[in-house]
Amino acid sequence: MKLVLSEEEQFLKDTAKSFVEERSPISHFRSLRDDSDPLLWDKDIYSEMVKLGWPGILIPEEYGGSNFGITGIGVILQECAKTLTPSPLFATGVLGAYAISQFGTKEQQEKYLPQIANGGITTALAIDETSHHNPFQIKMTAAKDKSNYILNGKKIFVIDGASADLLIVLARTSGNLGDSTGLTLFLIDSSSSGIKKIKLDMADSRNYANILFDSVKANDSLILGDAETAGETVENILDVGRIAISAEMLGNAESAFNITLDYLKQRKQFGATIGSFQALQHRAAEMFCEIELTKSSVMAAMRAADENSNELQRLSSLSKTIAGETLHLVSNETIQMHGGIGMTDEYDVGFFLKRARVAEQIFGSSKYHTERYANLSGF
């Protein structure tokens, strides 16, 4: 397993770096937040991402994608995180594209994948129903009624749920709460009768929603994968999503660290730059080491996904755990080393802390994944 980027992957990373620095600096995110933009992402910026082929990276060439792999989309998300670029790329280009590419029928792939690749639709994965991530704690029901399933229930904290055109919804068709069996995934048009979206105001000023389903109809053609066996399917989709969000968290930590280093070199106290103080040097060195460790764990997880490794689950949880712990440390230290000004809205470093606290919880916290890693390892 190579833990370095190929020439093509490095080119993709460099392209993403140039794009976000030029077209979507942190000031752009600030303007979206200050203007109370209803989408909380820029359609024009996302259209440019589409032209660069980013939403199609996990989509086969026959459907308009490039099939470039998890590492390809991961390095893009890593660079986007450095300028806090908001977009539906994660929810659509990772979760939606991967789910339909891997588990969709031929008809579903032909219908949705070209639209994802060309920016025609955005998607959202609707899984969680409780404040703590658990993909098997599903109360939402999908009861069979003649030729249709009738969906009733509620999904919370749906990423890009407020604007998504297509919802990938996990519902219980049999079994009991907590069972990994008896679950089925459905592809639901978000404009369907009986769906109500409640937009959420989160600390990171991104696009989230709680979604209510009241007698929403879905026929057999809308089932993603096999009925009753979505427990294993959704874990696979989530593992890919966890790796991708870990790459984003890595980029967030890298940028916050670099901003802090620059500040340490500029800020003077007692006639000397504060970066010359040994205590702060030690703290900066600790952050550097943790970021390097995170790079290795995220790269190993991305490679495992691309190589369809048997270690995918363990490495996915490992990368999410380490990325979460590192980002928590770096975001805290960033604020503390900036002192009082770090708490003000004038400085950008506060945005990294706010994004960190939300990203840490997406698809499982470090605590959740430490326990999952231990269980998968036989402890």
The span from the CA of 117 to the CA of 140, in Å, is 30
The span from the CA of 87 to the CA of 24, in Å, is 10
The span from the CA of 261 to the CA of 112, in Å, is 45
Domains and CATH numbers, the chain: 7-121 (1.10.540.10), 124-228 (2.40.110.10), 231-376 (1.20.140.10)
pLDDT higher than threshold 80 for residue 6: yes
The span from the CA of 151 to the CA of 155, in Å, is 12
Phi, psi of 322 (to 5 degrees): -70, -40
Give the tens place of pLDDT for each residue, 52-106: 999 999 999 999 999 999 999 999 999 999 999 999 999 999 999 999 999 999 9
Q: At what angle do helices 278-306 and 312-338 cross, to 10 degrees?
A: 150
pLDDT higher than threshold 90 for residue 278: yes
What residue has token string 């996915």?
Answer: 316
DSSP letters for 104-158: --HHHHHHHHHHHHTTS--EEEE---SSS--TT----EEEEETTEEEEEEEEEEE
Question: Are 221 and 212 within 8 A, CB to CB?
Answer: no
Q: Which residues pair with 211 in a beta bridge?
A: 155, 197
The span from the CA of 145 to the CA of 214, in Å, is 15
Average pLDDT over residues 5-9: 94
Model confidence band, residue 3 (pLDDT cutoffs 50, 70, 90)? confident
Q: 197 in helix, strand or coil?
A: strand
What is the chain's Cα-based Rg? 21
Amino acid 308: pLDDT: 93
Cα distances (Å, whole numbers) of residue 25 to 18, 30, 355, 358, 373? 10, 9, 15, 20, 36
Give the tens place of pLDDT for each residue, 157-197: 999 999 999 999 999 999 999 999 999 999 999 999 999 99
Helix (H) or strand (E) holding 200: strand 195-200
The span from the CA of 295 to the CA of 251, in Å, is 9
User: DSSP label at 159?
Assistant: E
User: DSSP label at 56?
Assistant: G
For residue 248, the tally of other CB atoms under 10 A from its CB is 28
